[in-house]
Amino acid sequence: MSDYLIGDVQGCFDSLQALLKKIKFSID
């Protein structure tokens, strides 16, 4: 699943950001 999100990040960056915010993703 992570690979899919990373591969599609350029096309759906806004949606991805919203999703990560929703699940409280932390890059660090």
For residue 23, the model assigns a pLDDT of 85
Q: Would you state the structure tokens that stand for residue 14, as one six-digit string?
A: 């806004």
Per the structure, the complete domain to which residue 26 belongs is given by 1-28
For residue 4, the model assigns a pLDDT of 56
For residue 7, the model assigns a pLDDT of 56
What pTM was computed for the model?
0.39
For residue 21, the model assigns a pLDDT of 86
For residue 25, the model assigns a pLDDT of 67
pLDDT, tens digit, 9 for 90 and up, residues 1-28: 555 555 555 666 778 788 888 888 666 6
> Taking the alpha carbons of 3, 4, 8, 9 in that order, is the dihedral positive or negative?
negative
Output DSSP code: residue 5.
H
Q: What does the CA dihedral 16, 5, 12, 18 come to, rounded to 10 degrees?
A: -10
Q: Which residue has the tokens 């919203």?
A: 18
* Percent of the chain whose predicted confidence (pLDDT) is above 90: 0
- Total domain count, the chain: 1
